[in-house]
Each structure stands twice: as C-alpha cells, then as structure tokens.
C-alpha cells in the first residue's frame, strides 16, 4: 500500500476535476464507512468539508438537503420544522448520538449499507440525488441505487424530494436487538389518504437478500380501499427473502418482517379511523 493522498477542494469545479481525472480516489464525508471496506485499495481521499454542502432548506416545491448534512443536522431541522417528517421518524433512533453527528446523508446514499435508516424513507419519498463528476444533474434515488455506472467518478452533492410527498401517514421500523444496534432490516410505510380512502402508497423494506424491495403486492391491496375496511392481518405479503446476519437468522427475519409490516400498517390505520 502506497502513501494515501488527501485532497481538499474548496469549489465544486476543483472537486469535479479531482474525481474525474484521478484514479483510486474516493470522497470522504463523515468517514464512518471507510473502515467497513478495504482501505488498502484507495489511493486518495477527497475531503468534502470545505465545499459548504451541508445546508437544509426548502427551495420551490422541494426540501433540499446538502450531502454533508449529518443525521443530527437533519433531526434538528425537522424537530423545528416538522417532527412528523418521515426522515425525522427514521433517524430519531438511528445509530448513537455521537455517530448521528458524524454520519452524513450523502455518504449513506453513496455507500448504501444494508442497515441504513435513510434509504427506505428516501425511496418512499421518491427522492432525487444531484451528482457531479462524469455525470452531472438530478437522478432518481432508485436509479442511483440500482445503476452502478452512476457511481463511477461521481459525487453526491445534494438530495431532494417534493414537500407534498411527505404529507402522508408514515411509519418506520428498525429490526434490532439493542437501541444502538445496526438494524437487520428496516421497513418504511407511507400512505396517502383522501376522503377516508387510500389514494396511494409507497412501501419498502431494506436489508433483504436483494438489498431492498418495494412491497408492490401489499400496496395494491390497500390502494383504493376505505381505511375502515382494511384488515392488515388478512393481507398477503410480498415474497421477501433475507440472508443470515449476526443478529437474526433468515427465518427469524422473515417472521419478524411479516409481523412488523402488519403491525406498522395497523398503527397507521388506527390514526385514520
């Protein structure tokens, strides 16, 4: 392993030049994910701390979050603005207090560990990511998560979603043994109701054998239904498979998934009756 080089760009233009022309160089934000991989394969790290990309603000019809915003920053913002926001609910118990002040949303999106509490909510909110580098512009979070080409020589600068998308009834579940455990998987449910009928739904589970899955089968069973007529216990769920983790076996995770999806859906519906 040779000497590890550090880069400290102060403008997006400098960042773009480093990322597109250097080999073996990766972005560094909170740094919490670095040791999860093989550091020996890196030739350089690009510190994003001088780029001033940690702001959280409402712009036009969107909530826009800079990639360097930490979980703590996001929690503080939504605590004052909207403590019913889906991201607020999902991050409130994520990691530990010191780590919430280190982990960044941009790093979580780029790294996408299976235990993340961010990606399920961002999928449900139909979020977008802004990239710079060999690709420039806004891309859907789903495209970014599934297309590895979008990760090559690019950096996530910001994330956004439409404000009105976060006006539904929502729930987030973390499958864990202790409060600060990595969740074995997470469940995110987002429902939109008009005149007591479910207008639309966006349900995701993250941490599956396929990394994540949208629960289309369950969504179809609730859309168009009167909330008083929906019985979660009688519903069939999407076929979801898990791999063995330190916390739980695949079989236990599947049982827990079935139980908690129905429980969280029932909790949401109770608030609507």
Residue 123 in contact with residue 209, Cβ under 8 Å?
no
* Dihedral sign from CA coordinates of 69, 75, 81, 85: positive
DSSP, collapsed to helix, strand or coil, labels residue 85 as coil
Amino acid 121: pLDDT: 97
Residue 15 in tokens: 């960042």
Separation CA 190–CA 201 (nearest Å): 6
Model pLDDT, residue 34: 63
Tens of pLDDT, residues 66-108: 999 999 999 999 998 998 999 999 999 898 878 898 999 999 9
Q: How does DSSP classify residue 78?
A: H
pLDDT for 87: 96
What fold is seen in the domain 168-272? Enolase-like; domain 1 (3.30.390)
Structure tokens at 175: 């499958």
Residuewise pLDDT in 10s, the chain (273 residues): 568 889 999 999 999 999 999 888 889 887 766 656 666 777 889 999 999 999 999 999 999 999 999 999 999 999 989 989 999 999 998 988 788 989 999 999 999 999 999 999 999 999 999 999 999 999 999 999 999 999 999 999 999 999 999 989 999 999 998 777 889 999 999 999 999 999 999 999 999 999 999 999 999 999 999 999 999 999 999 999 999 998 899 999 999 999 999 999 999 999 887
DSSP string, 32-94: TTGGGS-GGG-SEEEE-TTS----EEEETTEEEEETT-BHHHHHHHHHHH-TT-HHHHHHTTS
Q: How far apart are CA 122 and CA 109, in angstroms?
A: 9
Burial class (CB in 10 A: 0-12, 13-18, 19+), 71: buried
Residue 52 — left, alpha, or beta (φ > 0 → left; ψ -120 to 50 → alpha)? left
Query: Of 117, 114, 115, 113, whose CA–CA distance to 89 is shortest?
Result: 117
Query: The domain 56-165: what is its CATH number?
Result: 3.30.465.10
Phi, psi for residue 28 in degrees, rounded to 5: -125, 120
Per-residue pLDDT tens digits for 28-57: 887 766 656 666 777 889 999 999 999 999
What is the predicted pLDDT for the residue at 229? Answer: 93
């Amino acid at each position: 392993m040779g000497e590890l080089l550090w880069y400290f760009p102060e403008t997006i233009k400098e960042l773009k030049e480093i990322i597109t022309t250097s080999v073996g160089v990766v972005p560094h934000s909170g740094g919490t994910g670095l040791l999860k991989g093989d550091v020996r394969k890196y030739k350089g790290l690009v510190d994003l701390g001088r780029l001033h990309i940690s702001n959280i603000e409402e712009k036009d019809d969107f909530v826009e979050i800079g990639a360097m915003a930490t979980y703590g920053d996001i929690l503080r913002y939504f605590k004052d603005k909207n403590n019913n926001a889906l991201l607020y609910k999902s991050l409130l118990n994520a990691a530990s207090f010191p780590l919430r002040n280190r982990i960044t949303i941009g790093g979580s999106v780029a790294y996408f560990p299976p235990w993340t509490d961010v990606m399920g909510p961002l999928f449900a909110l139909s979020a977008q990511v802004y990239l710079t580098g060999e690709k420039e512009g806004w891309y859907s979070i789903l495209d970014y998560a599934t297309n590895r080409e979008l990760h090559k020589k690019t950096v996530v600068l910001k994330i956004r979603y439409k404000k009105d998308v976060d006006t539904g009834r929502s729930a987030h579940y973390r499958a864990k043994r202790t409060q600060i455990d990595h969740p074995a998987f997470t469940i995110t449910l987002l429902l939109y109701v008009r005149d007591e009928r479910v207008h639309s739904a966006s349900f995701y589970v993250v941490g599956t054998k396929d990394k994540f899955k949208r629960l289309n089968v369950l969504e179809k069973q609730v859309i168009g239904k009167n909330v008083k007529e929906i019985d979660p216990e009688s519903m069939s769920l999407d076929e979801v498979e898990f791999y063995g983790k330190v916390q739980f076996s695949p079989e236990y995770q599947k049982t827990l998934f079935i139980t908690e999806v129905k429980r969280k859906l029932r909790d949401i519906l109770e608030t609507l009756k």
